[in-house]
Structure 1
Amino acid sequence: MAFTLHLRSRLPSALRILILQKKPNIRNISSMTGELQPASLVVLPRSLAPAFEGFCQANTGPLPLLGQSEPEKWILPAQGAVSETSMSRPQFWKYESGTCTGSLTSLEQFSEQLKDMVAFLLGCSFSLEEALEEAGLPRRDPAGHSQAGAYKTTVPCATHAGFCCPLVVTMRPIPKDKLERLVRASCSLGGEQGQPVHIGDPELLGIKELSKPDYGDAMVCSPGEVPVFWPSPLTSLGAVSSCGAPLAFASMPGCTVMTDLKDAKAPAGCLTPERIPEVHHISQDPLHYSIASVSASQKIRELESIIGIDPGNRGIGHLLCKDELLKASLSLSHARSVLITTGFPTHFNHEPPEETDGPPGAVALAAFLQALEKEVAMIVDQRAWSLHQKIVEDAVEQGVLKTQIPILTYQGGSVEAAQAFLCKDGDPQTPRFDHLVAIERTGRAADGNYYNARKMNIKHLTDPIDDLFLAAKKIPGISSTGVSNWGGYALACALYILHSCDIHRRYLRKAVGPSRTPGDQAWMQALPSVTKEEKMLGIFCLLYTSRCV
């Protein structure tokens, strides 16, 4: 006896004969041909169907839902629709109370239970082999042409009504000089499903060893290659376990059904600059690449040109590094915790001796980092702590900053002291900050002293905060940036551009969880503006005038 299911969408005859058959017409993804596309199958009790549907909708990257059956619509196929075959193999995993209890070639013995169950089809149509061919790269199969490895990550999917599990990803090694070509081909052919979720060090995803995949067979990265990761529908296996259903079924890894159901979100037509990705190398230790659209990248490059203008003809052009604003903003976009420093003594006859450039840009950047829900702190000279504390308090009162940010100091004295400050318990494996930003900050000269523009030694007014930047170079996971006051504003604006970019936002969230709307109101309110600049100038005038009297 053989059964099939009725889906809410149109089904081809190939699908209407497969669910309960002992037939090998559940195919491996790598052998997909024709107009049919492969899909993985999850079967759950009817009571859990709405919750699982919501879970898929909250995590469309790894779980693109193509269709689902209606309860009590499991019926016999037409007689003779299935030809006999002498071969069969396991096609499904059986779950009881969240535990996988075995594999099955057929669900026929569960025909009564299936009457009160719902089947879900999850799209997995993206063909990496086709993308490799499109990019002019050789096809790379694991040994024996078996299933390529997939890995459980520490990236949590968005939870929904009892369903929770980590993201599962697949990996392929790609020559680093071919990364952008492959990523563009992947996005062109696979739409959202073709966009990678991570490029670089697997430990940033919580994957300890590429040689030990959770599913399938490992593929080794050769010298000059970079691991690239895509979301996998095998994420659904963790979801099935998490719900603890008394009985559930799922397609085994490497086994798919063939359907002509299409992903409604798959884009068509030529790609626009907003949908063409650019790949950017943002860190070497750990190895990390980021992605943004051509459109977003170009806007940030235009910002860089603006802040590089030298109206005073001071000859600062040689200090500018091409694409550094783009690289710094991408790094900050991925950071969780940011430390900002500012402060440059310029004279001895006033109290405070600070110039007013630096703190405004630092506050502008801090305001936008707060809007992105990142941890942010400021570190200043100890003698200027009360000044900057008051600046922050007034900025909060004036609505420039959302909340208070910690004001820290550092007197240093050794490499060990700098490492102890930057890392939890002094352990370089657990840095407290992901990114350090210096805005109009004095730095040490080759002779160990600090000088102002008039070549006067100001070492007695300056704490060795630059020791932290020197130490950060030797601590994996900490990046650093030095910018002008204008650069602080530009970084805030560049972050806004990135977080208004669909491609970058999806890469940031690893294709799981809901995506915030481009131009989110909280982000717009946190941007620098004329009104905020006037408020900050008022704060500075009051503070500096009162201290000079």
Structure 2
Amino acid sequence: MLLTGGLKSLLPHVLRRIIRCSRLSISNTSGMAEGYKQANIVILHKSLADDFEKFCHANDGPLPLLYRSQPGDWKCPSLSIDSDIRTDCLQYRKYEHGACTGSLKSLKEYSEQLKDMVTFYLGCSFSFEKAVQKAGIPIRNVEQKCNVSMYKTSVPCHSVSVFHCNLVVTMRPVPESKLEAAVLATSELKEAHGAPIHIGDPGLLGIQDLSKPDYGDPVHLHPGDIPVFWACGVTGVEAVMNCRAPLAFTHSPGCMFVTDLKNDNVRSLGGGPQVHCISQDPLHFSIVSAEAAQKINTLETLIGIDPGDRGIMYLQHQGELLRACLAMSHAGSVLITTGFPTHFTHEPPEENDGPPGALAIAAMLQALEKEVAIVTDLRAMDLNKKIIEEAVQLGILRKPVPLLSYQRESADSALMFLCENGNPRRPRFDHLIAIERAGMAADGNYYNARKVNIKHLVDPIDELFLAAQTIPGITTTGVSNWGGYAIACALYVLHCCEIHDRYLRRAVGFPRAPSKRLCWALPSVTKEEKLLKTLVQLGVRSGKTASLEMEVDGLPFYNTHSLMIEKLLQEAQH
């Protein structure tokens, strides 16, 4: 019996021969033949092969196809010399009609059946371990001398014919300071699953307990470690079980086929992926390309100018636009509030600074097929209904946005509004956005810019934002009217980012191509001009001057607001 010492440096063909002779005292191939590609194995009847290949291409994150054999071919010449798939994995599993009916050291006794079967060799995350270690990142399962942890998730793969299942992932603990290095080290190794598909709270993948993996061994996290999840080839095992083929074989999870191919150390041009924390509770990080992040930071800089000398630069937090838009990109449901009744002597008292930006965000969220609603003052419901109806007629919105109101009736009113039946584990919204909205002062009143108390005109919607801070899973953002335009443009940039798109869809399914619908949803000078004219007709006034002219907050629409919209669009689309 050969012990594990020195196996890391063995050449793959030597390691395969040792495995073939059953002379290894190891239970998995993690850390073996460092720097060489390893492969998951799926062996199916030839009648299922074409559909399984399509299934792999449709879910190439977990199932990167390295090689497909001909029926009865036990070799894979493009991956290895002197190999025999019947003997060269540490352990195999046999499946009959979807049930695992045995673990085997060799498939030689099934040689006759294998003549009508096709072998699929699929990429494995063990292949990137050397690259991760070179980046100064510990491989905890290797340190702890155990198999990697593998978990079934709640994420459905793209189905093809009889092949369907949820994504399976591997988890590797990574020190928080090394998260970006881990993403950079793996993102270009697409045949080894590429970049992570989730970083942070396992519950967001439907994983309830990290100490109870579905495959492999539990791996202990060190203080400061973050759970990082990669797509896993054991997804193919789940698909094999669900297809209920009369006979099928796979490798035993963790017991890979070791190829003769080295990993290519490829680095993307123009800067690699960036990692950003978008929520602390639950802990959640997102990934975006350096190029997209730079565009969004430029959008933030553009809206930071202060032509009215209002001191807004002191309200801006660098990087907040990117963080907020990443959170919105992951959100399924977004709640927007706007409406500042600053003109208390007029009817309606609302100013026109806020609604245009709010509708710009709503239009983009609709195009991204997210749920979006607007909450406003009860007394302003009819006005906002008219504004939304006009926005649909003008082509700004695809469909009406639901209008909600909020009143404080009890101590838990905000919780009841934000969560189903007041259950903080079931929030109705993932993200809240306030645009040009009054907040309560220390004395319990609400004031306009001239320090006039307008409490009688304002519903306590700001309570929702305070309550949201105590509810896991809800993030919040406060922006200006221009910030609303910038958010719409930034969400478009994220949609066009291949790196972010892959992370959003967990590397299953197909990449999203930028659609005409999204281009249509972007704000434009023409649309915003029509909307401002509508607001004027409805008696909604400029904030600073109370003028019913083509201006917002005392600044002319033409050559100020229109120019800002043009600059934002140019940056988002170039």
Q: What TM-score, normalized to structure 1?
A: 0.89
Change (3 A) 1:22 1:161: farther
- Is residue 198 from structure 1 mapped to residue 198 from structure 2 by the alignment? yes
Q: 1:398 to 1:24 in 2, by over 3 A?
A: farther
Aligned: 1:296 with 2:304: no
Residues 462 and 243 of structure 1: CA distance in aligned 2, closer, same or farther (over 3 Å): same
Task: Summarize the Cα distance change of 1:350–1:267 in structure 2 as closer, same or farther, 3 Å threshold.
Answer: farther
Change (3 A) 1:121 1:232: same
Q: How many angstroms apart in 1 are the aligned matches of 2:227 and 2:75?
A: 45
Deviation, structure 1 residue 368: 0.5
Paired residues of 1:210 and 1:220 also in contact (CA < 8 A): no
Match of 2:503 in 1: 507
2:537 pairs with 1:542 = yes
1:485 Cα deviation from its structure 2 partner: 0.5
2:244 alignment partner in structure 1: 244
What is the one-letter code of the residue matched to 1:534? E
| C-alpha distance in 1 between matches for 2:400 and 2:477 | 23
For residue 540 of structure 1, report the CA deviation from its aligned partner: 1.6
Measured after TM superposition, the shift of residue 122 of structure 1 is 0.5
Pick which of 160-169 and 474-483 moved more.
160-169
Mark the CA change 1:54 to 1:512 in structure 2 (over 3 Å): closer, same or farther.
same
357 and 76 in structure 1: CA distance in 2 versus 1, 3 angstrom threshold: closer
The residue that corresponds to 2:301 in the other structure is 305
**Counterpart Cα distance in 2 of 1:493 and 1:14:** 53
Q: Does 1:445 align with 2:441?
A: yes
**Local SS of the residue matching 2:216:** coil
Which amino acid is the alignment partner of residue 105 of structure 1? K
Aligned residue in 1 for 2:268? 271
Other-structure match for 1:365: 361
Q: Verify the 8 A CA contact 2:353 2:481 in the aligned structure 1.
A: yes
Q: Number of paired residues?
A: 523
Query: Which deviates the most, 218-227 or 295-304?
Result: 218-227
Report the counterpart of residue 332 of structure 1 in structure 2: 328
Q: In the aligned structure 2, how far is the partner of 1:57 from the partner of 1:314? A: 54
Matched, 1:527 2:522: yes
2-structure distance, mates of 1:341, 1:101: 58
Asked if the contact 2:348/2:539 (under 8 Å) is kept, the reply is: yes
Distance 2:31 2:143 in 1: 16
1:221-271 per-position Cα deviation (integer Å, ceiling 9, x unaligned):
232221111111111111001111111111111111233469xxx987442
Aligned residue number for residue 401 of structure 1: 397
1:479 and 2:469 are equivalent in the alignment: no
Q: CA deviation at 1:33?
A: 2.6
Q: Which residue identity is paired with 2:388? A: V
| In 1: Cα distance, 2:114 partner to 2:520 partner | 52
Q: Which residue of 1 aligns with 2:407?
A: 411
1:213 correspondence with 2:213: yes
Question: CA 1:415–1:360 in 2, change beyond 3 Å: closer, same or farther?
Answer: same
1:27–1:257 Cα contact (<8 Å) kept: no
Query: Structure 1 residues 435, 58: closer, same or farther in 2, change over 3 A?
Result: same
Which one is further off, 103-112 or 522-531?
A: 103-112
Please say if residues 21 and 107 of structure 1, whose CA atoms lie closer than 8 Å, have aligned partners that are also in contact.
no
Q: Deviations over 1:36-72 (max 9, x none)?
A: 5211110112221121111111100000011212235
Deviations 1:50-103 (A, max 9, x none): 2111111110000001121223556999xxx799xxx99962111111111111
Distance 2:301 2:395 in 1: 30
CA 1:365–1:257: 2 relative to 1, 3 Å: same
**Against the structure 1 CA distance between its residues 310 and 421, is the aligned structure 2 distance closer, same or farther, given a 3 Å change threshold?**
same
1:160-205 residue CA offsets vs partner (Å, 9 max, x unmatched): 1121111111111112122222222232556772301111111111
123-132 vs 195-204, which deviates more?
123-132
Q: Shift of the alpha carbon at 1:142? A: 5.3
The aligned counterpart of 1:4 is none
**Rounded Cα–Cα distance in structure 2 between residues aligned with 1:89 and 1:363:** 58
Match for residue 458 of structure 1 among 454, 458, 483:
454
Deviations 1:448-493 (A, max 9, x none): 1001111111111010111111111100000100000111111111
Cα distance in 1 for partners of 2:35, 2:221 equals 32
Contact 2:128/2:189 (<8 A) preserved: no
SS of the counterpart of 2:539?
Answer: helix
Match of 2:175 in 1: 175
- Residue 145 of structure 1 pairs with residue 145 of structure 2: yes
Q: Which residue of 1 aligns with 2:465?
A: 469
The DSSP-based 3-state class of the residue aligned with 1:376 is strand
User: 1:59 is matched by which residue type in structure 2?
Assistant: N
1:202 maps to a residue whose letter is P
Q: In the aligned structure 1, how far is the partner of 2:274 from the partner of 2:504?
A: 14
After superposition, the Cα gap between the structure-2 partners of 1:143 and 1:293, relative to the gap in structure 1 and judged at 3 Å, is closer
The C-alpha deviation readout for 1:142-173, integer Å capped at 9, x for no partner, is: 57622111111111111111211111111111
Identify the range of structure 1 (282-291 vs 394-403) with the bigger mean alpha-carbon deviation: 394-403
Paired residues of 1:337 and 1:375 also in contact (CA < 8 A):
yes
Residue in 1 aligned with 2:428? 432
- Residue-by-residue CA offset, 1:380-430 (whole Å, 9 max, x unaligned): 101111111111112112211111211000112333111001000110000
Q: Judging changes above 3 Å, is the alpha-carbon distance between structure 1 residues 261 and 66 closer, same or farther for their aligned structure 2 residues?
A: farther
Query: 1:116-155 maps to which residues of 2 (within 5 A)?
Result: 116-124=116-124, 127-141=127-141, 145-155=145-155
Match of 1:352 in 2: 348
Cα root mean square deviation, aligned: 2.9
Secondary structure, in 3 states, of the residue corresponding to 1:94? strand
What amino acid does structure 2 have at the position aligned with 1:388? Answer: N
Pick from 481, 490, 511: which aligns with 1:494?
A: 490
Distance 1:31 1:232 in 2: 16
Is the Cα–Cα contact under 8 Å of residues 415 and 467 in structure 1 kept in the other structure?
A: no
Q: 1:235 to 1:390 in 2, by over 3 A?
A: same
Is the partner of 1:288 in helix, strand or coil?
A: strand
Listed as ranges, the gaps of 5+ residues in structure 1 are: 1-11
Are residues 437 and 52 of structure 1, via their aligned partners in 2, closer, same or farther at CA, if it must alter by over 3 Å?
Answer: same
Deviates more, 1:223-232 or 1:125-134: 125-134
Q: Distance in 1 between matches of 2:167 and 2:108?
A: 31
Q: Structure 2: state its 5+ residue gaps.
A: 1-10, 542-547, 549-574
Distance in 2 between residues matched to 1:292 and 1:512, nearest whole Å: 17
The alpha-carbon distance between structure 1 residues 13 and 419, as it changes in their structure 2 partners (threshold 3 A), is: closer
Q: What is the DSSP-based 3-state SS (H/G/I as helix, E as strand, rest coil) of the residue aligned with 1:408?
A: strand
Matches for 1:221-232 after TM superposition, within 5 Å: 221-232=221-232
Query: Match of 2:114?
Result: 114
